[in-house]
């Protein structure tokens, strides 16, 4: 059933006239007999009362504004260097702040991928098994990834896992044998892919803090921190060419870290982890890791040195 209208169908003027007459009759019986005199008296009464109240409100408002401006104009208390030092010290003593390494790692982790080369021992591609594990770092929004050549060399298929868990196949699009570097490109990309920021190794000095992020033994992403222990190093083995101009660091790295980023405290990639030194037969970290400089890696993707 249609709901009845809530508004009267009378004209505005008619409603106003009816209200005025009703009000006059209610407030001043007999005003109807005196005609306009009664209505005028009522109007004068209503006008005088609001004017007085308005004047009082204006006075109170003026007083409030005067008090506020007086307070605002008071000279603020000046902070001394001792006050600032005390505040900083209080914050350091009462707040759990993340370390420099933790802050740097948070910036790079979204760009680090797990690289899984798959074995070519079978012709049935559906039965390919992982033949190893490595790491990589996304350097462009279109899915270009830097890793080590020895991670992907000889693989029939390469799969990468992004930070959000998405998997994709990848193809090799460039190699740099002398620095054990490979450039691969993912075929499928996450919607929110975040490429890394590339820095420069030219500003590094022995003792500078660095962080390595990757998948040692397939576990990760894992973070290890250390310092640059040397620059312009050389490293090679009996079955590989000698690599030159390497960064030496003591951030822990193990099999699976290969191809992962070495970053500075600003979260910028300054190198690609490529080897560890262990004079024994074990392929585990004992304190020395080598990384190819990002300038060398840039040559592998056609970038000019930074």
Q: Catalytic: 90?
A: no
Pull the structure tokens for residue 59: 């006075």
Which of 217, 116, 189 shows the shortest CA–CA distance to 159? 116
Choosing from 150, 222, 229, 296, the catalytic residue is 150
* 176 Cβ contact list (under 8 Å, min separation 6): 149, 182, 296, 297, 299, 300
180 is catalytic: yes
Crossing angle of the two packed helices 12-27 and 36-72, in degrees rounded to 10: 100
Selected catalytic residue, list 111, 135, 180, 250: 180
Residue 28 known to be catalytic = no
First to last CA, the chain: 78
Rounded distance between C-alpha atoms, residue 275 and residue 291, angstroms: 7
**What CA–CA distance (Å, rounded) separates 38 from 50?**
19
Q: By three-state DSSP, how is residue 249 classified?
A: strand
Catalytic-labelled residue, pool 111, 135, 258, 296: 258
Whether the CB-CB separation of 236 and 150 falls below 8 Å is answered with: no
Residues in CB range of 127: below 8 A, 6 or more apart? none
Spatial contact of 108 and 102, defined as CB atoms under 8 Å apart: no
Q: How many residues does the chain have?
A: 306
Active site residues: 150, 180, 258
């Amino acid at each position: 059933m249609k709901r009845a209208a809530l508004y009267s169908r009378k004209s505005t003027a008619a409603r106003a006239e009816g209200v005025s007459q009703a009000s006059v009759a209610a407030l001043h019986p007999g005003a109807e007999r005196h005609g306009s005199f009664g209505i005028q008296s009522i109007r004068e009464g209503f006008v005088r009362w609001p004017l007085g109240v308005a004047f009082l409100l204006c006075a109170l408002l003026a007083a409030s504004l005067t008090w506020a401006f007086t307070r605002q104009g008071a000279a603020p208390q000046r902070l001394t260097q001792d006050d600032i030092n005390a505040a900083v010290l209080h914050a350091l003593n009462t707040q759990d702040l993340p370390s420099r390494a933790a802050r740097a790692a948070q910036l790079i982790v979204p760009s680090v991928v797990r690289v899984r080369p798959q074995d070519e021992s079978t012709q049935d591609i559906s039965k390919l098994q992982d033949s190893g594990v490595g790491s990589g770092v996304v350097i462009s929004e279109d899915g270009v990834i830097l890793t080590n050549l020895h991670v992907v060399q000889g693989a029939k298929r390469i799969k990468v896992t992004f930070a959000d868990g998405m998997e994709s196949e990848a193809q090799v699009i460039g190699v740099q044998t002398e620095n054990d570097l490979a450039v691969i490109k993912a075929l499928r990309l996450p919607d929110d892919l975040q490429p890394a920021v590339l820095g420069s190794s030219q500003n590094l000095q022995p003792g500078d803090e660095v962080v390595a992020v990757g998948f040692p033994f397939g576990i990760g992403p894992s973070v290890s921190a250390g310092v640059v222990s040397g620059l312009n190093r050389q490293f090679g083995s009996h079955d590989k060419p000698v690599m030159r101009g390497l960064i030496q660091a003591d951030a822990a790295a193990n099999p699976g870290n290969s191809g992962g980023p070495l970053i500075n405290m600003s979260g910028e990639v300054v190198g690609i982890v490529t080897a560890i030194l262990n004079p024994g037969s074990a392929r585990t970290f004992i304190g020395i890791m080598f990384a190819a400089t990002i300038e060398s890696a840039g040559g592998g993707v056609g970038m000019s040195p930074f």
